[in-house]
Amino acid sequence: MAQAIKKQALGRGLSALLKDPENDIKSVNDKNADKVVGNIIELEINAIEINPFQPRSNFNEESLRELATSIKELGVIQPITVRKLDFNKYQLISGERRLRASTLVGLTTVPAYIRIANDNESLVMALVENIQRHDLDPIEIALSYQRLIDEIQLTQEQMSERVGKKRSTIANYLRLLKLDPIIQTGIRDGFISMGHGRAIINIEDLDIQTDIYQKIVSQNLSVRDTEALVKNYQESLKPKPAGKPKAASFEVAETQKSTFTNYFGTKVDVKVAGNGKGKITIPFHSEEDFNRIIKLING
């Protein structure tokens, strides 16, 4: 919690810096530009304009309300990205749903990454340096990787070279961003580990994700326990193999039994099992009687 307060205070401090006309940062070469590049800044929503070239114009109202509820409870987990147009004037690059949802719940500021002129390489350096820090939580690292993809268009292979991490490691971090926001917050606050998150991400249903998250926290489950819980859930979804259809049983009428008895000249026993299978028992009383029955069978 202390870390979150520290970051919030830092974001507000930088926001004040940007609103100072004497420190109007327009380029990466300007004074204090290094404090802006790569950092999260609390930005006033009324200073942000929607990108007129935003290709997406339709937003699902129900989904937007759900995001607004999440933001009201947890805050904006992933900052938006804006481009600086003029003094205290910005244009949205990405995160319109987050911005709209924040407005819905009455927020006046929103955490943002600010892009300024010719900051591409500086941003890459800042993010790479940030990723190398030891005090970052897994979600912060994942967000840094995602920024390198979204804003710099680096591939995972290129990121692997820049940060000195295997591509599979980068992919594992990025997958954490598909977790429900509640779970992402749990990872950031240290309630669960990245290992727990990696196990939960194998479940697509966000409601089931949060159910398992609650069990992990309340029952203090280990990563191995979580993996077993996820596996059991996935097994329960698999269609059960259909058993072999049982053969219909039937009853042999007394008249049918009598037909055998009359033909062989001895009381024939007919038994039928529940699966429809059965056996016919023809008794004989001597070798002579046995030979007689054989002749009847052979015709």
Residues serving a catalytic function are 96
In contact, 60 and 101? CB cutoff 8 Å:
no
CA dihedral sign of residues 284, 285, 289, 291: positive
Tokens 């938006």 belong to 80
Strands 48-49 and 89-94: parallel
Look-up: residue for tokens 């990563």? 223
DSSP string, 102-155: HHHTT-SEEEEEEE-BT-HHHHHHHHHHHHT-SS--HHHHHHHHHHHHHTT---
Other Cβ atoms closer than 10 A to 199 = 23
Q: Which residues, 6 or more positions from 257, have their beta carbon under 8 angstroms from its beta carbon?
A: 268, 270
CB 110 within 8 A of CB 217: no
Structure tokens at 263: 């033909």
274 touches 288 (CB < 8 A): no
CB atoms within 10 A of CB 158: 15
Pairing state of beta strands 41-44 and 109-115? Answer: antiparallel
